[in-house]
Chains A and B, each alone.
Chain A
Amino acid sequence: MPNHRILVLYAHPAPHRSRINRRLAEAARSLDGVLLHDLYETYPDFFIDVAREQALAEQAELIVFLHPVRWYGMPSLLKEWVDAVLQPGWAYGPGATALRGKGYLLAVTTGSPEQTYAAGERHGHPFEAFLPPFRQTAALCGMRWLAPHILHGANSLDDAAVDAHVAAFRARLLAHLEGRHDGA
């Protein structure tokens, strides 16, 4: 069993075409105490080893979902992970304490710029409006919801903005590892 304190569940169906998420994943991988868990690489057939995943999650203090937003939600394999791994009696429900008190960080990117997430715009609602399913999942499992790490407009961003975003992500993980609980 790896000796990690942060578990990053990385879900990208086409990592070879990723510009930003791949770099975020690399940044996480480079830190001691972080387990970068590439779900599409590990379970290409969507057949998830539930016991192993539960053990990995139990060991971590902080669980990170790292993925691009697809159709206002998570990629299908990560949803499969949630469906299969977060079992009643383990993750939620009477006597379930496995995830209680752990931190939960959502680190996502969107293709469209932030201003398209508004009433009357392309996506009709502010981005916050799409987060309740994530938030409630964490809440049901007794996890602490941390401020999500979001990057909008991934399709049109310049390199400097990408660099800054990756550095900020790395800094938040590092802060957690060094015990500076700044809410990250």
Chain B
Amino acid sequence: MEHSLLTNALIYLAAAVVAVPLAKRLGLGAVLGYLLAGMAIGPWGLKLIGDVEDILHFSEFGVVLLLFLIGLELEPDRLWSLRRQIFGWGMAQVLLVAAALFGAALLVGIDWRVALIASLGLSLSSTAIALATLGERNLMQTPAGQAGFALLLFQDIAAIPMIALVPVLGVAVADSAGPHGWQNAARLAAVIAGVVVGGRYLVRPALRIIAKAGMREIFTAFALLLVIAISLLMQWVGLSMALGAFMAGVLLADSEYRHALETDLEPFKGLLLGLFFIAVGMSVDFGVFLSKPLLILGLVLGFLAIKLAVLFLLSFRFGIARGQRWLFAFLLSQGGEFAFVVFGAAATARVFAPETGSMLVAVVALSMVSTPLLLLFHDKVLEPRYRGQNKREADAIEDNEGHVIIAGFGRFGQIIGRLLNANRVKLTILDHDPDQIELLRRFGFKVFYGDATRVDLLTAAGAAKARALVLAIDDIDDSLALADAVRENFPELPILARARNVTHLYQLMDRGVTVIERETFESALQLGRRVLGQLGFGAYRAREATLKFREHNKNSVDAVYPFYKDREQYVSMAKRARDELNEMFARDLKNIDNETDKGWD
């Protein structure tokens, strides 16, 4: 059947729109929804789509965008501070998993070359599945999330020598027509240097010029152009596209257009990742599976058992809290996108027979399908058990009556919590960092683990009987989501909120929150007051001046609020913030000192 681009798009979008909400409804998660949609429309389902290979390749760009966006969140300094995790832990994970699989394969009498390629390929996990899940569950900042991210990053690097190794083991060592080793290395170095220098001195000014032009779609086009160009460049020098995009993201992490790039690329990333999962679903070869179902199921189970065991043991070494160890193992248990590439290369180099190749691909695809199921098992069976002791406490609702809920117990929430605790206010704390939680429990706090934006968690935490909710989450999106959830489900519960910045303050005001403190404002004022003292202002005069400015600034923020509502079409959030700041500076200068010298002796 001949298909035009639009008919194909129609099929993909319809499948996604039907399958994903359905899967979410059933509690299966979005990833499984896409995979099932892919199976349904693929060659073994309704046969609506034929050329799976091309789609798989095209949609891999979703993974590239994902890594670019993750890079944007990671400034070079932070990346550098993660080097031990990336190279130490990453190396340990790849080598130990590969060694365990290799040993098992040799034991059952598989040829050592096939075993080597298969075990190396299977040691890699799916960046798309693992990172999408980490993001969906807001676990990126937890130890499990950090370790998972470091391992995935290392795997992206490790895949390159693996792919290079395949032809060496092959029967037909087809000497690559590319340039010689040193030439290749020189080209690699030149391109990386070019990206680093260009990122700083060409891309940023270009972004500025385009943002000034005020045409949003051109800004989006440039963002896509940037990522595609860097990816192709990286592929040309033999690096993985995803790794290259990640590098480019890191280079732009401290740029003022970071948020604008994020918001513009986000929908593309989402759709392409979805397409990628659909393609994986389509590529599950049920023909191979049906010919040897028991063998393949056995391989999948054996593979998962070995990989899970190694990951679980490693999680102790990585300092992951008790409650997250299985989650961490499940997240990274599946075979990854790179396995397809490695096995494809191996089949081409005739390291193993085509049947072996397609069998291994089927194993990887099925293992990818297993991940959402394992996570479901984790949520429904393991996590409630881990929360067991805590659950019992929560049931004593009398005890929970008249309490204050603090959502987010990092540096900010902790201070509030300790102040309230010192004044014998009953507290319930919601946070998603297990390390923090274990510490707090030891001090007798009632702590709930999990994403505070989930209504069921709020209900479990006794939101219906609480006197107030302190919204101290540091993530702006989560903070707003929680404010929405509380407004909708517990309209009587007063919200007292921490704002990260003025825009966030306005967004909270949009949601009817009235008690809001900007997180840095008061402490900056206090230090400013100390500066005045240092300059010879008396302590009381410095206090007066500070309070006066504080009042003035609060009035200005209120006065600028209607302005902000008119400006939502701005090219970048950074620009909007700068305009608001300009407005405030202009108002500050009108704050003239109208003291007189009369009346004091």
Residues of A near any B CB (own CB < 8 A): 13-21, 40-42, 44-45, 68, 77, 109, 111, 154-155
Q: How far is the CB of A167 from chain B (nearest CB, A)?
A: 17
B539, A155: Cβ atoms under 8 Å?
Answer: no
The yes or no answer to B542 lying at the interface (CB within 8 A) is yes
**A68–B543 Cα gap in the complex (Å)?**
20
Q: How many residues of B contact A (CB 8 A)?
A: 13
B543, A45: Cβ atoms under 8 Å?
Answer: yes
Complex interface: chain A residues within 8 A of B595 (CB)? 17
A44, B601: Cβ atoms under 8 Å?
Answer: no
Of A40, A41, A68, A77, which is within 8 A of B601 by CB? A68
A44, B540: Cβ atoms under 8 Å?
Answer: yes
A40, B538: Cβ atoms under 8 Å?
Answer: yes
Q: How far is the CB of B593 from chain A (nearest CB, A)?
A: 12
**A30–B119 Cα gap in the complex (Å)?**
86
The interface centre, meaning the residue of B542, B597, B599 with most chain A CB atoms within 10 A of its CB, is: B599
Residue of A nearest to B539 (CB): A44
Q: How far is the CB of B112 from chain A (nearest CB, A)?
A: 76
Given known contacts A44-B543, A45-B543, A16 and B538 CB-to-CB distance under 8 angstroms: yes
**A174–B433 Cα gap in the complex (Å)?**
66
Q: How far is the CB of A59 from chain B (nearest CB, A)?
A: 24
A sample of 5 inter-chain contacts (CB < 8 A) reads: A16-B538, A16-B541, A18-B600, A18-B601, A40-B540
Residue of B nearest to A162 (CB): B601
Complex interface: chain A residues within 8 A of B542 (CB)? 44
The yes or no answer to B84 lying at the interface (CB within 8 A) is no
Complex interface: chain B residues within 8 A of A13 (CB)? 540
**A45–B533 Cα gap in the complex (Å)?**
14
The interface centre, meaning the residue of A18, A41, A44, A68 with most chain B CB atoms within 10 A of its CB, is: A44
The yes or no answer to B554 lying at the interface (CB within 8 A) is no
**A44–B598 Cα gap in the complex (Å)?**
22
Complex interface: chain B residues within 8 A of A111 (CB)? 599, 601
Bits for B587-601, please: 1 = Cβ < 8 Å to A, else 0: 000000001011111
B601, A154: Cβ atoms under 8 Å?
Answer: yes
Complex interface: chain B residues within 8 A of A20 (CB)? 601
B600, A14: Cβ atoms under 8 Å?
Answer: yes
**A40–B537 Cα gap in the complex (Å)?**
12
Question: Which residues of B (488-519) have their CB < 8 Å from a CB of A?
Answer: none
Q: How far is the CB of B127 from chain A (nearest CB, A)?
A: 54
Complex interface: chain A residues within 8 A of B538 (CB)? 15-16, 40-41, 44
Q: How far is the CB of A159 from chain B (nearest CB, A)?
A: 13
Q: Majority SS of interface residues in chain B? A: loop
A41, B600: Cβ atoms under 8 Å?
Answer: no
Complex interface: chain B residues within 8 A of A16 (CB)? 537-538, 541
B601, A109: Cβ atoms under 8 Å?
Answer: yes
**A25–B404 Cα gap in the complex (Å)?**
49
Complex interface: chain B residues within 8 A of A41 (CB)? 538-540
The 5 A-B pairs at the shortest CB distance, nearest first, are namely A154-B601, A40-B540, A44-B539, A44-B543, A44-B540
Q: How far is the CB of B595 from chain A (nearest CB, A)?
A: 8
In the complex, besides A16-B537, A21-B601, 15 extra interface pairs with C-beta distance below 8 angstroms are A13-B540, A14-B541, A15-B538, A15-B541, A16-B538, A17-B595, A18-B600, A18-B601, A19-B601, A42-B539, A44-B542, A45-B543, A111-B601, A155-B599, A155-B601
Residue of B nearest to A12 (CB): B600
Bits for B384-396, please: 1 = Cβ < 8 Å to A, else 0: 0000000000000
B597, A17: Cβ atoms under 8 Å?
Answer: yes
Complex interface: chain B residues within 8 A of A109 (CB)? 601
Complex interface: chain A residues within 8 A of B539 (CB)? 40-42, 44
Q: How far is the CB of A47 from chain B (nearest CB, A)?
A: 11
Complex interface: chain A residues within 8 A of B541 (CB)? 14-16
**A14–B542 Cα gap in the complex (Å)?**
10
**A111–B598 Cα gap in the complex (Å)?**
9
Q: How far is the CB of A70 from chain B (nearest CB, A)?
A: 9
Complex interface: chain B residues within 8 A of A40 (CB)? 538-540
**A20–B600 Cα gap in the complex (Å)?**
9
**A14–B595 Cα gap in the complex (Å)?**
11
**A68–B601 Cα gap in the complex (Å)?**
7
Complex interface: chain B residues within 8 A of A77 (CB)? 540
Complex interface: chain B residues within 8 A of A21 (CB)? 601
**A19–B600 Cα gap in the complex (Å)?**
8
Complex interface: chain A residues within 8 A of B543 (CB)? 44-45
Complex interface: chain B residues within 8 A of A18 (CB)? 600-601
Q: How far is the CB of B188 from chain A (nearest CB, A)?
A: 62
A17, B540: Cβ atoms under 8 Å?
Answer: no
The interface centre, meaning the residue of B542, B543, B600 with most chain A CB atoms within 10 A of its CB, is: B600
Bits for B516-546, please: 1 = Cβ < 8 Å to A, else 0: 0000000000000000000001111111000
**A111–B597 Cα gap in the complex (Å)?**
12
Residue of A nearest to B542 (CB): A44
**A44–B526 Cα gap in the complex (Å)?**
12
Complex interface: chain A residues within 8 A of B537 (CB)? 16
Complex interface: chain B residues within 8 A of A15 (CB)? 538, 541
Complex interface: chain A residues within 8 A of B598 (CB)? 155
Q: How far is the CB of B485 from chain A (nearest CB, A)?
A: 38
Complex interface: chain A residues within 8 A of B599 (CB)? 111, 155
Residue of B nearest to A21 (CB): B601
Residue of A nearest to B537 (CB): A16
**A155–B597 Cα gap in the complex (Å)?**
10
Complex interface: chain A residues within 8 A of B601 (CB)? 18-21, 68, 109, 111, 154-155
Residue of A nearest to B546 (CB): A44
**A45–B538 Cα gap in the complex (Å)?**
12
Complex interface: chain A residues within 8 A of B540 (CB)? 13-14, 40-41, 44, 77
Bits for B569-601, please: 1 = Cβ < 8 Å to A, else 0: 000000000000000000000000001011111
**A68–B600 Cα gap in the complex (Å)?**
8
The interface centre, meaning the residue of A17, A21, A109, A111 with most chain B CB atoms within 10 A of its CB, is: A17
**A111–B601 Cα gap in the complex (Å)?**
7
**A155–B539 Cα gap in the complex (Å)?**
25
Complex interface: chain A residues within 8 A of B597 (CB)? 17
Complex interface: chain B residues within 8 A of A44 (CB)? 538-540, 542-543
Residue of A nearest to B601 (CB): A154
**A111–B600 Cα gap in the complex (Å)?**
7
**A68–B598 Cα gap in the complex (Å)?**
13
**A20–B601 Cα gap in the complex (Å)?**
6
Q: How far is the CB of A176 from chain B (nearest CB, A)?
A: 24
